[in-house]
Structure 1
Amino acid sequence: MSSPAPLRILGIESSCDETGVALVQTQAVGWPRLLAHGLHTQMRMHAEYGGVVPELASRDHIRRVLPLTEQVLAEAGLATRDIDCVAYTRGPGLAGALLVGAGVACALGASLGVPVLGVHHLEGHLLSPFLSADPPEFPFVALLVSGGHTQLMRVVGVGQYELLGETIDDAAGEAFDKSAKLLGLGYPGGPALSRLAEQGNAQAFALPRPLLHSHGLDFSFAGLKTAVLVQSKKLPTDEAALAQARADLAASTQAAIVEVLLKKSLAALRQTGDQRLVVAGGVGANRALREALNLACARRGVRVHYPELALCTDNGAMIAMAAGMRIAAGVDTPIKRYAFDVKPRWPLDAIAAAA
């Protein structure tokens, strides 16, 4: 019996402030492979406003998505006629931004007469480590730390996700960004705070670790943000002393966030008995977090997997990959249906019911 013909899947990501386009190809054996990808970040545009402006984000997606598609196809040495399926981020995310990607994907699919597939943004992050040189194997525990999401999931297979714990207020990424803003750092705040933390003493400020010793696996970072606000108002006014105090507060803030993420991840591994941990999402690129997880997991004989650094933020490759994996696993069958909707709020553990 002959193997099914490989599918070339174009993926479009437009959930927030990055426009991503990528092309993957399914294989007879193993998961799809990445052929090419392109990414445009709106970071500089939104920095002027200190945060993402949804209307501006949507307009910029409109400007970028087709040129990026042409760039990706050229890089892969292919033409639009070579596309077999178009995948797009259906949610969660900014409604207007999602509609741009969904509209372009469905228009392109209709013009080519190929099927389309809406993909869950967080599933894209969850499966993005399969694009790396060291892909994981099922089952595993996943720590999803992306933007406004902090979750622990148990992943048995493609589309088989069990929510173990999630944030009850601010997510880790929000704690980084909001703390950075309190320290007068630019946008995006998380990377800026991490850079400043390298110059500081992580023991200088005794900041809270909310829910660290609770019996559950939920997270809470709102109290930490409040503590940073209180300490930021007590910083010295002397210029030299202020610079060091800001670095110390940044380091202490990062240490608190990392400790909570580390301890909860280890607790999830103990609870499930799994020996693999996947870390995905923008905060997964944080060097301090990676070092802490690598050290703790090595001591316990647990394998840790990350996406490539270039694929930690939102990108089209993870959307194309998630679509390819769902098709390969028989979880989804893309159809030639070009009427679309988007889901700005879409829990990952409800994906089977919402597909």
Structure 2
Amino acid sequence: MTIILGIETSCDETGVGLVRLDGSGAVELLADEVASSVEQHARFGGVVPEVASRAHLEAMVPTMRRAFDAAGLKMSDVDAITVTCGPGLAGALLVGVSAAKAYALSLGVPLYGANHLAGHVAADTLEHGPLPTPCLALLVSGGHTQLLKVDGLATSITEIGSTIDDAAGEAYDKVARVLDLPYPGGPPIDAAARRGNPRAIAFPRGLTGPRDARNDFSFSGLKTAVARWVEAREPEPIPVDDVAASFQEAVADVLTAKAVRACVDEGIGTMVISGGVAANSRLKELAAERCAAAGITLRVPRPRLCTDNGAMMAALGAHLVAAGVEASSLDLSADPALPVSTISV
């Protein structure tokens, strides 16, 4: 049995997770503790890097203690440590990397600096078991919207599509601001959309023309279209529920259509949706419909595992250990622009 500690501090959540890797390669989740600083950012309408970094400093030790208490383990039980070293906010990443290096040095255990995006994909294995390979991952979060071909969680992840401007989660936050809904925008827009008519307003679907890049995304134009539609009707009352539903339908339509088509193009039979926006009800519903029609197996982890957390990094660490990947050096540093093809550093 191998106990792996995972640390995640790429944005505004301080995550600490613990997993157990057994001799057969099975990974068991033991603890998943998260401290969020989202309330400190809400009044600014977005994440403030310096605020996030300071919050990580304050939350690291208490979150670590909660995780070990929940797992019923001692620090000396840890056999390896995995930490997010990129991509993300530089200052926030450095807090986690510094803590992980200190723990690894004091315990005399190997350290793995790993990719946040690969961690999101690995999170699904905590719920649904090993991933078949190859599979396609639709990664949708506040900072990333990507299509990834996964040939090995520890060895080979290739980006085959990405957003050329705003990520889907960014568009949600900006549209929520236009509609005077709370930050972060995903949950309130999802709630409003359930009450609205998704066909009320014909918002555009970016990069869906015959000459557009098949696997790339664009949500900047959609965000602008919503803002202009609302501005054109002021000072009349805005049908918030209908706007939210029509916006959300446009996002889910493009994401699922392109992801399913990519699976067909690549001959892939399994799709994983991960990242914070994977918790969106309409995205999951439409993905399930379209995957079923195309004969594709859909996997979506529970909402708790979709958002940033330490458990996903511990799970990725388990795959790195099982694959015999070389550990990182203690001069490991943060890389805010770490490409997804670099799974570990």
Give a deviation string over 1:62-119, Cα, whole Å, max 9, x none: 1111111111111111111111112111001111100100111111111111121111
Give a deviation string over 1:282-338, Cα, whole Å, max 9, x none: 0111000000011111122211001221111000000111111012122x2225x42
* 8 A Cα contact 1:32 1:324, kept in partner: yes
Deviation for aligned residue 1:236: 4.9
Alignment partner, residue 312 of structure 1: 306
Question: How high is the sequence identity, in percent, across the aligned residues?
Answer: 44
Write the distance in 1 (CA, Å) between the matches of 2:339 and 2:106.
31
Write the distance in 1 (CA, Å) between the matches of 2:158 and 2:43.
39
Write the distance in 2 (CA, Å) between the matches of 1:324 and 1:229.
44
Write the distance in 2 (CA, Å) between the matches of 1:76 and 1:281.
25
Q: Tell whether 2:332 aligns with 1:334.
A: no
Alignment partner, residue 340 of structure 2: 348
Write the distance in 2 (CA, Å) between the matches of 1:68 and 1:179.
32
Alignment partner, residue 181 of structure 2: 185
Match of 1:281 among 275, 282, 300: 275
Q: Tell whether 2:147 aligns with 1:152.
A: yes
In structure 2, the gaps of 5 or more residues are none
Write the distance in 1 (CA, Å) between the matches of 2:46 and 2:170.
11
Write the distance in 1 (CA, Å) between the matches of 2:252 and 2:150.
22
* 1:228 aligned partner, one-letter code: V
Deviation for aligned residue 1:234: 2.1
Match of 1:201 among 191, 197, 205: 197
Give a deviation string over 1:94-151, Cα, whole Å, max 9, x none: 1110010011111111111112111100000011110104653221111011221111
Deviation for aligned residue 1:60: 0.7
Write the distance in 1 (CA, Å) between the matches of 2:203 and 2:116.
32
Deviation for aligned residue 1:229: 1.1
Give a deviation string over 1:180-235, Cα, whole Å, max 9, x none: 11111111012111111111111111111011233521111111111011101023
In structure 1, the gaps of 5 or more residues are 1-5
Where 2:195 maps in the other structure, the secondary structure is coil
Alignment partner, residue 295 of structure 2: 301
Match of 1:220 among 218, 221, 224: 218
Match of 1:262 among 256, 265, 283: 256
1:21-40 correspondence runs (5 A): 21-40=16-35
Q: Tell whether 2:160 aligns with 1:164.
A: yes
Deviation for aligned residue 1:278: 0.6
Q: Tell whether 2:105 aligns with 1:107.
A: no
Write the distance in 2 (CA, Å) between the matches of 1:280 and 1:190.
14
Alignment partner, residue 132 of structure 1: 127
Where 1:180 maps in the other structure, the secondary structure is helix
Write the distance in 2 (CA, Å) between the matches of 1:37 and 1:215.
38
Alignment partner, residue 232 of structure 1: 230
Write the distance in 1 (CA, Å) between the matches of 2:320 and 2:75.
22
* 2:67 aligned partner, one-letter code: V
Deviation for aligned residue 1:25: 1.5
Write the distance in 2 (CA, Å) between the matches of 1:31 and 1:343.
30
Write the distance in 2 (CA, Å) between the matches of 1:118 and 1:146.
21
TM-score, structure 1 as length reference: 0.93
Write the distance in 2 (CA, Å) between the matches of 1:51 and 1:13.
19
Write the distance in 1 (CA, Å) between the matches of 2:234 and 2:178.
15
1:6-21 correspondence runs (5 A): 6-21=1-16
Alignment partner, residue 77 of structure 1: 72
* 2:327 aligned partner, one-letter code: P
Write the distance in 1 (CA, Å) between the matches of 2:172 and 2:130.
28
Where 2:88 maps in the other structure, the secondary structure is coil
TM-score, structure 2 as length reference: 0.95
Give the length in aligned residue pairs. 342
* 8 A Cα contact 1:136 1:305, kept in partner: no
Write the distance in 2 (CA, Å) between the matches of 1:300 and 1:193.
28
Where 1:147 maps in the other structure, the secondary structure is coil
Q: Tell whether 2:244 aligns with 1:246.
A: no
